[in-house]
């Protein structure tokens, strides 16, 4: 993709959209484009499938209780898999569908467009956590009632903490990578390779420096399985640095 130094045109004062309007536009695009809908429905479907599978296992083992935490663990897996892709789409779908031309016509100040996408990527974590918790409550109550099992919330706080951490870490790291690459396919492939291969290979590095380079160190440290040093190093490497590159690319990239 070509990059040029592009002076930002100043819109008329009366036509300047607010940050809230830009964020609302980003949310609307994410939930209406086919790629965003596919990810959201896939996350919901996988969560429900895993929930029914867990319930089936508990019934087969003649368990008398169904814990909310067990059902939420299924949706936590969905958050870990889906939020990075949603974060990627926030920054890449405009360039993929050429909608960036419309966005820049509405708001020529590119730093504000970048900021709106950053806020959107954070709010994705909030929205998904709320949606997963509501869905988990409904599913766990429904399954417990349908199969005559007692409902319990034991151990739920720990699982909810994991859900929140993974949702925010996933959406931010995905958004950072997407902003730097501005390519949906390339960003998704890198995320998959990183999770399945690179993070594991980094553990083989001598001197114990692997955790300082892993993307998983951000979330691991926040849920009690790592140090603050590894979390900060991982955050700087996989969030701050890509966002810095993405900010530069956003200001200079030429829509075509």
153 pLDDT above the threshold of 60: yes
**In a domain? residue 69:** yes
Check whether 10 has a pLDDT greater than 80: no
Residue 9 lies in a domain: no
pLDDT of residue 237: 93
* Inside any domain, residue 1: no
User: How would residue 256 be classed by pLDDT, with cut points 50, 70 and 90?
Assistant: low
The average confidence (pLDDT) of the chain is: 87
- On whether residue 6 sits in a domain, the answer given is no
**DSSP per-residue letters across the chain:** --B---PPPPPPGGGPPPHHHHHHHHHHHHHHSHHHHHHHHHHHHHHHHHHHHHHHHHHHTT-SEEEHHHHHHHHHHHHHHHHHHHHHHHHHHHHHTTTHHHHHHH---HHHHHHHHHHHHHHHHHHHHHHHHHHHHHHHHHHHHHTT-EEE-TTHHHHHHHHHHHHHHHHHHHHHHHHHH--HHHHHHHHHHIIIIIHHHHTTSGGG-HHHH-THHHHHHHTTSS-HHHHHHHHIIIIIHHHHHHHHHHHHB---
- pLDDT score at 118: 95
Give the chain's domain count: 1
Q: What is the pLDDT of residue 188?
A: 93
- What pLDDT score does 15 carry? 66
Q: Which residue has the higher pLDDT, 168 or 6?
A: 168
pTM of the model: 0.87
- The larger pLDDT score, comparing residue 176 to residue 147, is at 176
Assigned domain for 35 exists? yes
**pLDDT band with cut points at 50, 70 and 90 for residue 12:** very low
- Answer yes or no: is 12 within a domain: no
Range in 5-14, 110-119, 150-159 with the lowest mean pLDDT: 5-14
In a domain? residue 7: no
Q: Give the model's pLDDT for residue 58.
A: 87
The mean pLDDT of 233-249, rounded to a whole number, is: 94
Mean per-residue pLDDT, 13-40: 86
**Which range marks the domain in which residue 103 is found?**
18-252
Residue 4 falls inside a structural domain? no
Of 1-15, 40-54, 171-185, the one with minimum mean pLDDT is 1-15
């Amino acid at each position: 993709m070509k990059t040029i130094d592009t002076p930002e045109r100043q819109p008329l004062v009366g036509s300047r959209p607010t940050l809230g309007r830009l964020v609302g536009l980003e949310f609307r695009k994410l939930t209406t484009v086919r790629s965003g809908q596919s990810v959201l429905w896939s996350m919901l479907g996988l969560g429900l499938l895993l929930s029914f599978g867990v319930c089936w296992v508990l019934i087969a083992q003649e368990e008398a209780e169904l814990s909310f935490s067990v059902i939420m663990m299924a949706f936590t897996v969905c958050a870990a898999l889906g939020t990075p892709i949603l974060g990627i789409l926030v920054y890449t779908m405009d360039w993929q569908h050429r909608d960036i031309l419309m966005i820049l016509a509405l708001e020529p100040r590119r730093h504000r467009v970048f900021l709106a996408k950053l806020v959107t990527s954070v709010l994705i974590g909030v929205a998904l956590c709320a949606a997963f918790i509501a869905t988990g409550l409904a599913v766990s109550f429904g399954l417990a009632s349908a199969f005559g099992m007692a409902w319990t919330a034991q151990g739920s706080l720990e699982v909810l903490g994991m859900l929140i951490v993974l949702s925010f870490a996933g959406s931010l790291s995905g958004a950072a990578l997407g902003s730097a690459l501005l390519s949906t396919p390339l960003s998704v492939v890198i995320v998959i390779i990183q999770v399945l291969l690179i993070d594991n290979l980094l553990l083989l590095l001598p001197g114990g420096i692997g955790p300082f380079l892993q993307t998983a160190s951000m979330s691991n440290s926040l849920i009690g399985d790592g140090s603050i040093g590894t979390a900060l190093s991982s955050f700087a490497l996989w969030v701050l640095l890509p966002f810095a590159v993405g900010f530069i690319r956003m200001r200079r990239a030429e829509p075509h």
